[in-house]
Structure 1
Amino acid sequence: MPSRDFKRTDRVGAELRREIGLLVHAAVRDHGLPSVSVSDVEVTRDLDWATVWVTALLPDQSIPAVKALNELAVEFRRSLSRSMRLRRVPELRFKYDDSVDKGERIETLLREQARDLAPREESDED
């Protein structure tokens, strides 16, 4: 019998990510929300809660976007219950994923450091 390397929570999370991504895209378009996309979904072992991580195109608009998505969570859950074959759809919590912002910040710092070091190395050779 094959091993079960892929847990049920992972499968449910992947399916939720696809479905919620479509719902969030429609909500952004219909409700005039700031542009956000679903980056990941983490589901608890008992499938009671799902944490939906979203990233915003403009980080300064992330707080109102997450607040609006949390207000729409009940509607999203209702829609998911119709489209997914789950006995019980988990309750949704939306949170902002700041890993992209942190990565850009680190990249910017590394570029600045490389730019600052480059002239010194050239002047040492003269």
Structure 2
Amino acid sequence: MSNFARTDRVAQQIQRELAELVRLEINDPRVRLVTITGVEVANDYSHAKVFFTRLDGKHEEAQQGLERAGGFLRSQLARSLKLRIMPQLHFVYDASVERGSHLSQLIDQAVASDKQHSDES
């Protein structure tokens, strides 16, 4: 059980460090509007899935930019985190923010339609 707690703590630390690195160190315009939404680290620390979203929806080019900067990001993480094994970073687009926004729009439309129908009666 404590092993899972440690991987969770490592994942949270990687997320914080990556968010700072992306914001301050990466000059690639494809990565400019990227937000790191989560990190999952394998139990053996060999791999980490880095979930991201981009505000303008251009996630394919953001993923290309992140993958291009992956080696740099991993080396910077190795400097700041004291881990015996630094995980390979795998960038995955997180569509949950986009789905949440879409659901919110649908709810707003339903409420407006319901209000319009109640005003008509």
Give TM-score scaled by structure 1 length: 0.87
| AA matched with 2:110 | Q
- TM alignment of 1:11-90, pairs within 5 A: 11-28=9-26, 30-33=27-30, 34-59=32-57, 61-90=58-87
Alignment partners' CA distance in 2, 1:31 and 1:108: 32
| AA matched with 2:91 | F
> What is the identity percentage for the equivalent residue pairs of Structure 1 and Structure 2?
30
Query: Structure 1's 41 and 89: CA in aligned 2 closer, same or farther, altered over 3 A?
Result: same
Q: Offset of 1:32 from its aligned partner?
A: 2.2
Larger Rg: 1
Instruction: Please list every run of 5 or more consecutive structure 1 residues that lacks an aligned counterpart in the other structure.
Output: none
Alignment partners' CA distance in 1, 2:25 and 2:65: 10
Query: Structure 1's 19 and 108: CA in aligned 2 closer, same or farther, altered over 3 A?
Result: same
Equivalent residues of 2:4, 2:43 under 8 A apart: no
Instruction: Please list every run of 5 or more consecutive structure 2 residues that lacks an aligned counterpart in the other structure.
Output: none
Q: Offset of 1:116 from its aligned partner?
A: 1.2
Query: Structure 1's 5 and 78: CA in aligned 2 closer, same or farther, altered over 3 A?
Result: closer
Give TM-score scaled by structure 2 length: 0.90
Secondary structure of the corresponding residue to residue 45 of structure 1 = coil
Q: Offset of 1:113 from its aligned partner?
A: 1.1
Q: Offset of 1:50 from its aligned partner?
A: 0.4
